[in-house]
Amino acid sequence: MRKLTKILLGTGFMMFLFSCEEDHAVTELDKAQESTSVIHVTDHDGQPFDTGTNRGDQKGRYTAGPGGGVMMQGFYWDVPAGGTWWNTVKGKLSAWSSAGIESVWLPPVSKAQNGAFSMGYDPTDYFDFGNYNQNGTVETRFGSKTELQSLINTAHAENMEVYADIVLNHNSGGQLEANQYTGTNTWTDFTGVASGKFLRSQHDFHPNWVHGGDAGFFGGFPDLCHDVPYVQDWLWNRSDGVAKYYKNTMGFDGWRFDYVKGFDPWVVAAWNNAVGGFSVGELWDSDVNWLESWANSANSSVFDFACYYKMNDAFDGNNLNLLNDDMMWKRNPYKAVTFVTNHDTDEIWNKMLAYAYILTHEGYPTIFYQDYEAWLDKNKLNNLIWIHNNKATGTTSILHVDNDEYVARRNGYNGNPGLIVYINNSSSWKTRWVPTNWYNTQIKDFTGHSGWYPTTQSGGWVQIQCPPNSYSVWSPNI
């Protein structure tokens, strides 16, 4: 209602005038109601992302919120060598679980060709976790098998999941042998690995007796042939093979599959069918059609590189209209793992806006270790994690988007009211009237960036604000 101003006239009569300021506000609301076209992005029953892992009766510190949880990438490229990394991560778990981190993705845990200096992506012996003396070292770059098991046990005590980075495309560190398929000498003799398990030779790599190749080779490394029954047995069929040993003996809860462009998606589907657990593939490509097709064929989640590249162009290119474009989380939010940075790519400059985006939208958001522990404001990230876990519920509707402003609504689920996120990529404060699902309800900005406590109208409309180059997140003040 517009404010009335009382004026005493000389004749003794009083006159009431409507405030011009309030007239302007109503006009702006009228314009907003006429021009706003809500885009309903997703259509499902509203349930949050679920990793599908049964934690049993564990009573740890982490407790899932209405919006689900968040994954931490627990490493970066070239973490300190010297066998200390498993203990470093173990020391972070209590604080991470308190902050709302549900799971930790670890780098490849087995012994690799570069020994104590390897980041693990050149695997030699899948069953050497830092307990055999080979490739010039006993421990891996990250530590010993005992330290790794202690990390996993501690995470489980915190009610957190641990995901192993699995390199299935290629191997490295074998011995030279005469190769009957190439007519040359190749580094494909892995019959002497120290664990004595999964002894590979030229017959298990491309080219071989099955065929000349599969979806792709990487870096000139020997390329595993997953069509060989022996390879399938040792990777996922045998009770003492890689998948089941990692899950049942080491205690891993899920898998991040490296370079899935290098082999067909049925490989991941077969692994998942044999052993279960959460699964996400690294299909490094912005083509959302390919991401969706691969996820469906592999029966797996996939990293949302389409979202990553759209965020990069939107936030750094000053064109938030690009957030209207297609992304994997819009196709299938239950198979999309979103991220802002990882150990391979770090292109987004305005990271806090990107984190505000993924932590208020659908999919399974990932926090990068260096962003959290070194590069960004941990308190702001913790605030966004709390908002994600407690307020980011239900389907998604886009309320407004232009070059500088983006406003979206999470529509709530199972009694949780959801939220409205306002992202401002300009250099000045912005305000906007938006339609909510809340009526005659006081709301507030749960980031603390705005001090407003507006009340929604009977029709659900409300005016909200956002500071420059920042974000605000609104929900009922409860």
Residue pLDDT, tens place only, 72-87:
999 999 999 999 999 9
Cis ω for the linkage preceding 207 (within 30 of 0): yes
Residue 140 pLDDT level (bands cut at 50, 70, 90)? very high
d(C-alpha 289, C-alpha 296), whole Å: 11
Note the pLDDT of residue 20: 44
Least confidently predicted of 30-34, 155-159, 211-215, 221-225: 30-34
Position 453: which residue type? Y
DSSP-based three-state secondary structure for 474:
strand
Residue 22 pLDDT level (bands cut at 50, 70, 90)? very low
Instruction: With a cut of 60, say whether residue 5 has pLDDT above it.
Output: no
Position 309: which residue type? Y
Q: What is the CA radius of gyration of the chain?
A: 27
Instruction: Give the pairing type, strands 419-424 and 278-281.
Output: unpaired
Note the pLDDT of residue 34: 72
Position 392: which residue type? A
Residue 4 pLDDT level (bands cut at 50, 70, 90)? very low
Instruction: With a cut of 50, say whether residue 259 has pLDDT above it.
Output: yes
Instruction: With a cut of 90, say whether residue 422 has pLDDT above it.
Output: yes
Which tens digit of pLDDT belongs to each residue from 218-255? 889 999 999 999 999 999 999 999 999 999 999 999 99
d(C-alpha 121, C-alpha 116), whole Å: 13
Rounded (to 5) percent helix, strand, coil in the chain: 30, 25, 45
Instruction: With a cut of 50, say whether residue 11 has pLDDT above it.
Output: no
Query: Which helix (H) or strand (E) covers residue 138, if one does?
Result: none
Question: Longest Cα pair distance anywhere in the chain, in angstroms?
Answer: 114
Note the pLDDT of residue 215: 82
Note the pLDDT of residue 110: 98
Segment 311-318 mean pLDDT: 95
Q: In terms of DSSP H, where are the helices of 276-423?
A: 288-298, 305-316, 328-331, 351-358, 369-370, 378-391
Mean pLDDT (the chain) is 93
